[in-house]
Chain A
Amino acid sequence: MSKQSPKISNFIFNKNVQGVFYQAITLSLVILGIYYIVQNTAQNMVARGLASGFNFLGVESQFDIQMTLIEYSPTSTYFDAFIVGLLNTLLVAGIGILFATIIGFAFGIMRLSSNWLVAKIAESYIEIIRNIPLLLQIFFWYFAVLRALPKPKQSIEFMDSIFLNNRGLFVPDPNLGEGSSILFYLFWLSVIISIGIFVWSKKRQNKTGKTFPAFFTSMALIVGTFTLTLTALGFPISFEYPELKGFNFKGGMKLIPELVALTFALAMYTAAFIAEVVRAGIQSVSKGQTEAARSVGLKEGLVLRLIIIPQALRVIVPPLTNQYLNLTKNSSLAAAIAYPDLVLVFAGTALMQTGQAIEIIGMVMGVYLFLSLFTSVVMNLFNRYMKVGER
């Protein structure tokens, strides 16, 4: 036997070397695969005369959008249309998450109620809502809303200034007059002072054990400052009232039925899941904790606030994050009922007019990925803040 051969075979049969070798092969196959897909796509797009690139974003879109949170007209660019769609998606996701959380927590706690009726109401709500497909619920609420509401000329009125019909809810639009910027500065100042009060009262409580009604003080401060300045300035706010002109109301602020139906359906649906998450969280806190808290003399409200909820939140937050992500992604069902979200406006109309499917779908996917990762990061930070302090 020569000296070398055992060395080589040692090398070849070395587990680590083999591992690296196979991983290298797998990695290069994956890279080759991706390269092939990109190359093939580019080649086929050229062969079929498809336009490519992102230059279209600077071109006039030439279409209108029903609801825009920024200035938009057919002479705006495709990029503006993208922003309009994005903001509409964020709006419906934001409102949806807020309401889903409130309704979900309420029903989750109700389901644990010792009152038979309350518990059963919560249970049937949860079981019915979460077992019906969301798209059907969206259609249901949309057509329920449309059917229930009158035509513009028979609008339901409140005090001659708020109107409700099947084109939407019309409310007076506040226009801020001169000097109103002071109002804003003072408002934000009082908010900052309130945060200071919270920090100070927490510190004082930790040091001396004395409590301070920080919440009520800061509410009084904010509301008081706002009202006083408003009076001092002589109410520099004028309202633009909606008026029936021709087909519909003009002026004022408008809430379209598509937004209402979509938000409603998303919030109700997700709330049913959140309720179960909340129930799981609360039930995960052992009974001993409640009994111990009571025996040291805490009041019922404080038992819940200081003992149960902080411990329950540790269980609640991770699955709650999932529900928030689901709600955001489910908001893309908006296209079914004409709510102009990102999918309808950008992956719909803009895609059809430009034909640049790869770029547009890529951007839309990027947006949903970013929104989801962003929500995850925020909720993870919150989770870290809520976790048990190691002592």
Chain B
Amino acid sequence: MNTFKMWILSLTASIVMMPAAFAGTLDTVKSQGFFNCGVSQGVPGFSNPDENGNWSGIDVDVCRAVSAAVFGDPDKVKYVPLTAKERFTALQAGEIDVLSRNTTWTLSRDAQIGLEFAGVNFYDGQGFMVRKDSGISSAMELDGASVCTNLGTTTELNMADFFRANGMAYEPVVFEKADEVVNAYDEGRCDTYTTDKSGLAAQRTKLADPDAHVVLPETISKEPLGPVVREGDGDWADVVRWSLNAMIEAEEFGLTKSNAKTECALTSNPVVARLCGKEGATGAGLNLGESWSYDIVTMVGNYGDVYETHVGENTPVGLARAGSPNASYKNGGVLYAPPAR
């Protein structure tokens, strides 16, 4: 009798405990009315909180664009600050729905660790920062240097490649948090600090005396940074991918945050009309409302608006866009969006 009861019990238990199939992220997000966006713990220009805890930056604006597309409101986002080490686990575990945290797109991340990259919102490359008084002018002079960097980034691998390829010795000093890296470099623990060049420009603003440091000219790697979602949820990946593409395409066709309202009313260009949500029913395919791309441009802005607001030359980060890969392909950059149609 004991055994019989046990069998009944285990049978019921195994039926009850069958793993539930995943509901799509898009449906879940729509029904809960917001989504979670993983950001950095503070990289000025990319994702940085102000004194009131409001996040801003170009990585934050990717999440705001997704929010505008899904909800018609850019602020239905909960920001979750993450270290480089935590970010992928947080995404895999469902703690966040989009990871927009200057994350480099690589093969192993795409194929091996259950991530899907939704595009590139910043083309970057790894560089080195040194003290001006060290007299160093090229990364090739760094033989024997102590190098401070962040744990859990492609940076660690790139610098190993760089020093190995050039037959130079070095001492890696690897910290878990970005602030600790900056602090240790500032205290003189290292001769140089390495990360993506945009990161160097951003973190430099945190140093005791930013003008005493200089970024070396060499770029030792390709770092295409972009938003990431969980693998195996194509609908949600599409929403994030096309929210980013819409920002880029809006710029290509001259639709900006300030002129979108008037342009949309007057336009005779079918591409612009599609971006304005007047033609083509692009929203239906993404399970979004037809005004999704119009909302992105009017509420968040096109790529150029976002770039100039947060990292452009008139900001403390001060990264010139002209001549960089981040310029639109029309101006000789590599920023190019597939057509939103």
Contact = CB atoms under 8 A, between A and B. Distances in A.
Chain B interface size, as a band, is 35 or more
B232 A48 contact: yes
26 contacts: A24-B2, A25-B9, A28-B6, A32-B10, A36-B14, A48-B114, A49-B232, A64-B159, A64-B170, A146-B184, A146-B187, A167-B146, A246-B144, A247-B142, A248-B144, A248-B146, A338-B174, A344-B151, A348-B151, A349-B151, A351-B152, A352-B84, A352-B88, A354-B113, A355-B113, A356-B113
Nearest to B116: A49
B231 A49 contact: yes
Given A32-B10, A50-B113, A353 B88 contact: no
A336 B83 CA distance: 12
Interface residues of A, number: 52
Contacts of A344: 151, 174, 176
A29 B109 CA distance: 37
Contacts of A40: 19
Contact of B160 (A63, A166, A167): A63
Contact of B171 (A36, A66, A352): A66
> Could you say which of A28, A146, A336, A338 has the most chain B C-beta atoms within 10 Å of its C-beta?
A338
Nearest to A139: B180
A32 B14 contact: yes
A62 B157 contact: yes
Nearest to B169: A250
B156 interface: yes
Contacts of B164: 73-74
B230 A48 contact: yes
Q: Nearest 8 CB-CB pairs, A to B?
A: A355-B113, A352-B152, A48-B114, A49-B231, A50-B114, A74-B160, A246-B144, A51-B112
Is the contact region of chain A dominated by helix, strand, or loop, or is it mixed? helix
Interface string A8-26: 0000000000000100110
Contacts of B80: none
Interface of B: 2, 6, 9-10, 13-14, 17, 19, 22, 84-85, 88-89, 92, 108-109, 111-114, 142-146, 148, 151-153, 156-157, 159-161, 163-164, 169-177, 180, 183-184, 187-189, 191, 230-232
Interface of A: 21, 24-25, 28-29, 32, 36, 39-40, 43-45, 47-51, 62-66, 73-74, 143, 146-147, 151, 166-167, 245-248, 250, 257-258, 335-338, 340, 344, 348-349, 351-357
B174 A32 contact: no
Contacts of A143: 183, 187
B88 to A, nearest CB: 6
A62 B10 CA distance: 47
Given A146-B188, A352-B151, A353-B108, 7 more contacts: A40-B19, A65-B172, A73-B164, A74-B161, A337-B180, A348-B176, A354-B112
B10 A28 contact: yes
Contacts of A74: 160-161, 164
A297 B188 CA distance: 61
Given A348-B152, A349-B152, A352-B84, A338 B173 contact: yes
B260 to A, nearest CB: 37
Contacts of A167: 146, 171, 189
Contacts of A44: 19
B189 A49 contact: no
Contacts of B153: 352
Contact of A64 (B13, B160, B231): B160
Given A335-B151, A352-B151, A66 B6 contact: no
Contact of B157 (A147, A247, A353): A353
Given A49-B231, A50-B113, A66-B172, A246 B88 contact: no
